[in-house]
Structure 1
Amino acid sequence: MNLISSLWELDTTERADAYLTSLARPIRLQNYIENNYSDHSEPSHWIDSFNPRTGELLAQVPRSALSDVDHAVDAASRAFPTWSRTSRQERSEVLLRIAGILSEKKELFAVWESIDQGKTISRARVEVDRAISNFRYFATYILHEEGAVRYVDGPVSTMTYEHRSPVGVFALISPWNMPLYLLTWKIAPCIAFGCTGVAKPSEVTSMTAFCELFLFVQQYSDRRLIRKQVLGEVFRQAKLPPGVMNIIFGDGPGTGSALVKSPRVRGVSFTGGTATGIRIRQDTVADIGKHLSLELGGKNPTLIFDDVDLAEAVPLAAQAAFENSGQICLCGSRIYVHRAIYENFLSKLADYVQKNYRCGETIGPVVSREHYTKISSYLKLAKEEGAEFLTGEVPSVVAQQGFWITPTVLSNVRTDSRIMREEIFGPVVTVSPFDTEEEAIELANDNPNGLASILMTKDLSRMRRVGERIDAGLVWVNCWLVRELGTAFGGMKASGIGREGGSQSRDVFTNLRTLHVR
């Protein structure tokens, strides 16, 4: 059975698992350039991607060469002049059509997102809904843009007005923790503001990006299986010209670096690790005019004051620490609690985590063997440094039947420990006491990163006093992970440069000029 038609029917976990079991060899993904699939045959050009739940080989991802990158960039470059001149209404209709297709088949995407990344199906459904929202939001945003007009009186009276134009070809590079959601967070505004793009998903989780391609095929193909003809008809009906959006697969040092260094790529939107963000800046340092938006790592603090209701604070702190097995850049992995309630909070948090975060039921595995090994090394270090394990343990050195790590709550961790300073990006949280408001702020800011923070208090004055002094691009007060899509998204310090969302995304994907008319 054709891969595309097969995957289209697999919209339940049971069907998908049965299909994977029946395969004689792993699924091989293909690049998608200018409305065509690109085949690869060299064994050395494939990257193995494993099922996080079982540790078994799931798919093989192309290790795209420089020629593949050039092909994709060339396609996007040729598509840009026409696409950049399309009307806002036309682009809006394309985005709404994409959102409608995703909505009709959201369970299919949730199933494959869960399999590919290891997250629970409930978590995957949330992220598919957010992906749909990305397209719908920018589809309507571009229909209601505002600009500024200014008048100058004098000997030469002038009217000055702002004009924005699409930047050009963008490199859109997304991470493995929320593959579909974060990929669409870049694709939607790129298309909306008239740019063209070459997207590179993480080589660790590429299945949902591939699913996105065959979703368009099946929606508009009337079940015909001649892919080139079908895709031409798909994008003809969607009014998205060939080359406007291309997807290539590969690793960061090879494929990703070649993509961002291309002189025809005029902007980069990247979400991922700080080390990769540094590499992107190094690769693009000589290209002064290239737009960069880099959303990087976080080691986010959760501050809990003694006026909170523990029945509300404990579940919120646990959710912020362990959602998606702690593999969200916004997770609160450093909890600081006022000493007056510290011991009580610690006991209740340990009990709550043990009851509500169970591997294989309410929490999934971590994404890969490499990541499992990394997290294990931090937990081994915690044991060596004398940290107290209130939940969890040091995992086996070798992962057996999947990459499972028990949610771990640590106390008695030194402030200068690597466990406290570095982003572990897993189901591991530290809990420490503080005595004063000033000390809480100092502890929160004592980290190279500054992406997000959570503040729990009933004191309205404290919400402002503390919230406005935390070094973080996003501060949640008595809540977490709720965000209106027009809100600026990004971090301070080592957590990146630039902001995206609403008008901030417009700044990323457009150039601003002012015209002075006599």
Structure 2
Amino acid sequence: MEATNSEQWTQQALEEFATEIWTCNTVERAASFIGSQKSPICLPNYVAGRLTPLQSQPMALIDSFNPQTGSLLCKLPCTPASDVETAIQHARHAFTTWSKTTRRERSSHLRRISDLLQEHRELFAVWESIDQGKTLERARIEVDRAISNFSYFSTYILHEHTTARMVDGVALTYEHRSPAGVFALISPWNMPLYLLTWKIAPCIAFGCTAVAKPSEITSMSAYLLGLLLRKAELPPGVVNIILGDGPTTGAALVASPSVDGVSFTGGTQTGIAIRRATAHQIRKHLSLELGGKNPNLVFADAMDPATRDRTIRIAASAAFENQGEICLCGSRIYVERAVYEDFVREITEYVAEKYVLRKTVGAVASLQHYDKIRGYLQMAVEEKATFKLGGIPPALDKDQNQGYWINPAILTDVASGSVLQKDEIFGPVVTISPFEDEEEAVRLANDSEYGLAAVVLTNDGARMRRVGERIEAGMVWVNCWLVRELGTPFGGMKNSGTGREGGEYSREVFTVVRTLHLPSD
């Protein structure tokens, strides 16, 4: 980190930069814009409807790098506790009005945001790809999902229901829900826009206000979202976006007594820290979606001629989409021994053909993450695992301006107790192991501290239910992956988190319920 250069953070400079970057909606325009900058891009906070020049002087800056080139992309403030509290108070002030708006008013705002995001789809996709390292095609998919988040909740709140009960001859009772207050919304770096909007959309739909903090590794799409919220004329203070790291900015945000709830997606250790920091604040709503080390069970019948292509395709996409940087990736593949050799050979051929670095596989998000993944691959060599595909990438120096590119790796002969089978590597690395029967498959699937998601590949209808209902995971996909209806509960078991979001489950997070009793006479 370094101190600020205040000349780059004047209100005029911030507005001029915002106007210019908003026109960079192609890869070529974005590259030209980046190359034309005499100094790194400076990203401000978005508070009370304004791009905010730095309040605290001097303020430390965080460097954020382009994963595809390794070069410095932008600088952003490591927002201190005093400025975090200022943003929270703006959200608190906005809550007094926003919480009283009608559902139709809120729906109209959400629809406007969704429409604007659709209109500027390519702008967000281009910068999401540059900032996170993912392919442009993958970025477009995630922008589409962000659009759906706002669209879905814009209609969901128009059809809410409540429950009434009669105490015969005595009273009528009914449930009434009201917005829970000001929320801290903290999103990770792997799907920056999609997961941030997955929190913002229901938060404001149910009448709450927010202070959102994206990852310091990938803050560009959050910055652009702030510009879009302003264009959508969302009332000032309803959504505030502050930038910074976890220990300084994030910690101050979740611990503030003026925050009524926290929705967090990220690592398990950070989730534990949030639980500890808020343990004395019993009233605070917590929704924590944490890590995963997800199993993918392949039964012999799934390799029948009619379905083997589908099986290979699903297993490969669940392992390597977005460079394996999806919390729901199936990175532990277990295959029934009768088809084990055939499966290993065919998925290796498929991945080598379909998942090509710099074409269909992007760069991993940061040098720190590159080094982490590289360390696990070095460990695989030391443990004498077999590399069916991939290898150890070269060591990189941060001053070399090289992108963070790692080829997909398929490992076999990995011991069940190895950390390669236990830790969330969160990269383009998958292990494949055999199992003998259904009982062993379920045991292996559940042999993890995590319980976020799982995939079951089989043609046996009874097994789909029998195995699916025994796997200790919040989300189980059978013969598909990453398919979601936004009303279904999203969240994990065990150390993969607590709470659920989606449809009525998001309503539980962002509202409080009280029961009214009305006498019958």
2:245 aligned with 1:251: yes
Q: Which amino acid aligns with 1:54?
A: T
2:40 aligned with 1:46: no
Q: How does 1:148-187 map to 2 (within 5 A)?
A: 148-154=163-169, 157-187=170-200
Q: Which residue of 1 aligns with 2:9?
A: none
Q: Which amino acid aligns with 1:475?
A: V
* Structure-2 separation of matches of 1:165 and 1:81: 12
Q: Which amino acid aligns with 2:488?
A: T
Q: How does 1:7-406 map to 2 (within 5 A)?
A: 7-40=21-54, 45-154=60-169, 157-217=170-230, 219=231, 235=233, 240-308=234-302, 309-398=307-396, 401-406=402-407
Q: Deviations over 1:482-517 (max 9, x none)?
A: 100000000000000000000000000000111111
Structure 1 gaps, min length 5? 220-233
Cα contact 2:488–2:503 (8 A) shared by 1: yes
Q: How does 1:419-430 map to 2 (within 5 A)?
A: 419-430=420-431
Q: How does 1:397-476 map to 2 (within 5 A)?
A: 397-398=395-396, 401-476=402-477
Tell me the secondary structure at the aligned position of residue 213 of structure 1: helix
* Structure-1 separation of matches of 2:113 and 2:92: 22
Q: Which residue of 2 aligns with 1:228?
A: none
Q: Which amino acid aligns with 1:428?
A: V
Q: Deviations over 1:343-386 (max 9, x none)?
A: 00001111111111111011001000000000000000010001
* Structure-2 separation of matches of 1:84 and 1:169: 10
**Structure-2 change in CA distance of 1:447 and 1:109 (3 Å):** same
* Structure-2 separation of matches of 1:305 and 1:431: 13
Shift of residue 43, structure 1, vs aligned partner? 7.0
Q: Which amino acid aligns with 1:184?
A: T
Shift of residue 241, structure 1, vs aligned partner? 2.3
Tell me the secondary structure at the aligned position of residue 332 of structure 1: coil
Cα contact 1:411–1:431 (8 A) shared by 2: yes
* Structure-2 separation of matches of 1:284 and 1:119: 34
* Structure-2 separation of matches of 1:305 and 1:43: 60
Q: Deviations over 1:56-103 (max 9, x none)?
A: 000111100011111000001111111101100000000000001001
Tell me the secondary structure at the aligned position of residue 456 of structure 2: strand
* Structure-1 separation of matches of 2:173 and 2:381: 64
* Structure-1 separation of matches of 2:180 and 2:430: 41
Cα contact 2:166–2:173 (8 A) shared by 1: yes
Q: Which amino acid aligns with 1:376?
A: R
Shift of residue 8, structure 1, vs aligned partner? 1.1
* Structure-2 separation of matches of 1:282 and 1:475: 30
Q: Which residue of 2 aligns with 1:514?
A: 515
Tell me the secondary structure at the aligned position of residue 252 of structure 2: helix
* Structure-2 separation of matches of 1:241 and 1:337: 53
Tell me the secondary structure at the aligned position of residue 472 of structure 1: coil
Q: Which residue of 1 aligns with 2:3?
A: none
* Structure-1 separation of matches of 2:97 and 2:58: 38
* Structure-2 separation of matches of 1:138 and 1:116: 27
Q: Which amino acid aligns with 1:513?
A: R
* Structure-1 separation of matches of 2:462 and 2:250: 46
* Structure-2 separation of matches of 1:208 and 1:180: 6
Q: Which amino acid aligns with 1:274?
A: T
Tell me the secondary structure at the aligned position of residue 301 of structure 2: coil
Q: Which residue of 2 aligns with 1:482?
A: 483
Q: How many residues align?
A: 497
Q: Which residue of 2 aligns with 1:224?
A: none
* Structure-2 separation of matches of 1:148 and 1:56: 56
Shift of residue 214, structure 1, vs aligned partner? 2.3
2:490 aligned with 1:492: no
Q: Which residue of 2 aligns with 1:4?
A: 18
Shift of residue 398, structure 1, vs aligned partner? 1.6
Q: Which residue of 2 aligns with 1:225?
A: none
Q: Which amino acid aligns with 2:505?
A: Q
Q: Deviations over 1:267-325 (max 9, x none)?
A: 00000000100000010000001000000000000000000132111111010000000
* Structure-1 separation of matches of 2:89 and 2:58: 26
* Structure-2 separation of matches of 1:90 and 1:44: 38
Q: Which residue of 2 aligns with 1:227?
A: none
Q: Which residue of 1 aligns with 2:4?
A: none
Sequence identity percentage:
60
**Structure-2 change in CA distance of 1:25 and 1:359 (3 Å):** same
Q: Which amino acid aligns with 1:405?
A: I
**Structure-2 change in CA distance of 1:42 and 1:28 (3 Å):** farther
Q: Which amino acid aligns with 2:37?
A: L
Tell me the secondary structure at the aligned position of residue 300 of structure 2: coil
Tell me the secondary structure at the aligned position of residue 265 of structure 1: coil
Q: Which residue of 2 aligns with 1:230?
A: none
Structure 2 gaps, min length 5? 1-12
Shift of residue 190, structure 1, vs aligned partner? 0.6
* Structure-1 separation of matches of 2:129 and 2:395: 25
Tell me the secondary structure at the aligned position of residue 307 of structure 1: helix
Tell me the secondary structure at the aligned position of residue 101 of structure 1: helix
* Structure-2 separation of matches of 1:72 and 1:216: 16
Tell me the secondary structure at the aligned position of residue 362 of structure 2: coil
* Structure-2 separation of matches of 1:409 and 1:369: 22
* Structure-1 separation of matches of 2:366 and 2:502: 30
Shift of residue 216, structure 1, vs aligned partner? 4.3
Q: Which amino acid aligns with 1:271?
A: T
Tell me the secondary structure at the aligned position of residue 312 of structure 1: helix
* Structure-2 separation of matches of 1:462 and 1:241: 51
* Structure-1 separation of matches of 2:222 and 2:152: 20
* Structure-2 separation of matches of 1:80 and 1:211: 23
Cα contact 1:8–1:215 (8 A) shared by 2: no
* Structure-2 separation of matches of 1:366 and 1:290: 34
Q: RMSD in angstroms over aligned alpha carbons?
A: 1.1
Tell me the secondary structure at the aligned position of residue 406 of structure 1: coil
* Structure-2 separation of matches of 1:163 and 1:9: 45
Q: Which amino acid aligns with 1:424?
A: I
